[in-house]
Amino acid sequence: MARLTPEQLEQKIHAVLRQQPPRSAPASLEARVLGEIARRQALPWWHQSYAYWPHAIKLVFLVVATGVAGALLLGSMHLLGVISGDLVEQLVTPVFGAAHTLRSACSALIGLVSPSWPELSSTYLYAGLAVVGGAYAVMLGLGATAYRVLWQHR
């Protein structure tokens, strides 16, 4: 037999492969796939992804999560002295009737902890924000560099 060039060998291999019958899937594949679909549909909504939750539950979750995030933000701003306690009380009282009890408990805890805390001035806050911003910028730079070096096609 004559020696074939790489192109001729490639054409012959492709011709042989095209003549092969297509492989069929295992007989049990369809049953397994349908069983998995049925199993996932039978899961209760709280075990499924957020996209499958009922709309009313999504709305309640968003309201509660927003409330918790706002309360944490207001509490931390009050503890850091950025806003006064009166402003926090004016914002929280219409929504929560128990804000006074919460404020009393927080002030008692602050009274216990405040002697050991140093005074926080705006300089410390701005320095902390600068450190966090710088760390964020460094992480973005490292991520972009890692992408260019490791994953980008050359």
Band of residue 70 on the pLDDT scale cut at 50, 70, 90: confident
Q: Is 48 a member of any domain?
A: yes
| pLDDT at 12 (0 to 100) | 92
> Is 152 found in the same domain as 100?
no
Residue 154: pLDDT above 60? no
Q: Is 16 a member of any domain?
A: no
Residue 97: pLDDT above 70? no
Residue 103: pLDDT above 80? no
Asked if 78 and 85 count as a contact pair (C-beta separation under 8 A), the reply is yes
Q: Is 91 a member of any domain?
A: yes
| pLDDT at 32 (0 to 100) | 93
Q: In the chain, how many domains are there?
A: 2
Which residues span the domain enclosing 88? 40-117
Residue 136: pLDDT above 60? yes
Q: Is 139 a member of any domain?
A: yes
User: What 3-state class would DSSP assign to 42?
Assistant: helix
| pLDDT at 134 (0 to 100) | 94
Q: How far, in Å, CA of 36 to CA of 33, rounded?
A: 5
> Is 83 found in the same domain as 55?
yes
The pLDDT tens digits of the residues spanning 27-58 come to 899 899 999 999 988 989 888 888 888 999 99
